[in-house]
Amino acid sequence: MVPKVVLGVFGAAVALAAASCTVSKSSNPLSPTVAGPIPGVNISTPTTVQPPTGAQIAVDQQPVTLTTRNASTNGVRPLSYLFEVATDTGFANKVFTRDGVTAGDALTSVRLPDALATGHSYFWHVRAQDGANTGSFSSTVSFNVYTPIVIQPPTPISPIANAVTSSLRPKFTFANAQRSGPIGSVSYTAEVADSNAFVNRIAVLTVGEQSGQTSVDATSDLPAGAQLFWRVRAFDPTTTGPWSGTQAFQTPAPGGGGGGTGDPNDGLNVTLATFVDNPPDVGGFRVTAKMTLIQFRTDALIVDFDKRTGAGRWPNRPFNPGDPPDPRGGGIQYTLGLCFNLGGWYCSAAIQFWQDRELEAGAAPSSIPQTWYYDARWAPMNGYLPATGEQVGVFVVAGNVRGVRSSGLLSTRERSNIAVVPFDRGNGSRFTLLNGISFRIRR
């Protein structure tokens, strides 16, 4: 029996030692294994900061970062945070959970590892804990992830490049805007103004989108014989896109398609002609000179007319006081032009002459696409070379009309007749014209 007593005493001693050890650990409030909660310790509720309730987060602005204002505690244990995101307010369907997030200085944040699915509402909350005590969850915050609507600017098609329209109620045509996202029904707004600043809008036109490209007609007459500007943008019920690039155009002068009333010595019907990069009413200028010579030489297009020389020559002065002087001193005497039949007559005086400038300045007929109408300012004439034998118009205008948008800037409104002759790419064809009249073509 003695041994049993001894063993019992020894077992009790071992048990007592073990108990003493456990009490020692649990009495340390910073121990990671302390059993909780610790009486008297209170942890406040953290305050959600970002994203706030009702936030709209674009799908390409992910992953989402959750931020809370830190909680406080009267305990000595450091706080960490539990973040949860779910698709329901009861958090039965959690899509993200992160526990043990170390507290920041005043705010604590956690970035989700992956993007959330677009087109859904989400809910999140957060609570603080110290490993023994747990605070309450913050209020639940909802936010939405969405795919943004992006609308690109439309592309103007016509009228562009300062072309003269055939009507005072032109048709504006543009390529439809590219777009992405859950876009609704698309419409367009076009604006017409008298300057590229669009301070004074002359017309505002709205039209629903058409297939591929969209057109809209002016609903009232625009000012005649004027340079105007237009732009367009797309919109749907929720989003408005940016403006397109601004395009310039000219309206025809009163009385026709840009050509004016014409003259009996003209070889084409100027009332149906469009003047490009010139005042749109050149066709209505007084005809005070007649073409007398047209020659298509290999090296140059040579012309002469009965007011180029002598006392009756056109005035050798700039078209306005700001015109830069030419290399010989003085101003521009006249501007030489051609007309092409491109499904309708298009004319432009582009080669400038001053007193005593060599007639060879007209350049080789074969080089007209490079030396006359070489860029979009002269569309649709730019880059075009007539075929040998194709009927073209040849004329001159007093002063400098190249790049002039309004005849109101000119010191004189005079021109020659428009002589129509077969084009020659440089074989030397020569036409001597009686009273300025050559082959007459009226369309």
**Residue found under tokens 């005043």:** 106
Average pLDDT, stretch 406-419?
83
Residue 139: which of 125, 121, 122 has the closest Cα?
A: 125
pLDDT at 356 over 90: no
Q: In what order do the strands lie in the sheet with 107-111?
A: 47-50, 65-69, 107-111
Look at residue 197 and tell me if it is in a domain: yes
Average pLDDT, stretch 201-230?
93
Q: Which of 95, 114, 146 is the last residue of a domain?
A: 146
The number of distinct structural domains making up the chain is 3
Look at residue 29 and tell me if it is in a domain: no
Residue 141: which of 125, 118, 120 has the closest Cα?
A: 125
CATH number for 110: 2.60.40.10
For residues 327 and 266, which has the higher predicted lDDT (pLDDT)?
Answer: 266
- The answer on 328 and 426 residing in a single domain is yes
- The answer on 171 and 114 residing in a single domain is no
Least confident stretch, 14-18, 387-391, 429-433: 14-18
Average pLDDT, stretch 286-310?
88
> How many of the other CB atoms lie within 10 Å of CB of 97?
11
Residue-wise pLDDT tens digits, 12-53: 343 333 434 443 444 567 766 676 788 999 999 999 999 999
Mean pLDDT over the full length of the chain: 84
- The answer on 386 and 285 residing in a single domain is yes
pLDDT of residue 266: 87
pLDDT of residue 326: 44
Domain that holds residue 128: 47-146
Residue-wise pLDDT tens digits, 53-92: 999 999 989 999 999 999 999 999 999 999 999 999 999 9
- The answer on 159 and 131 residing in a single domain is no
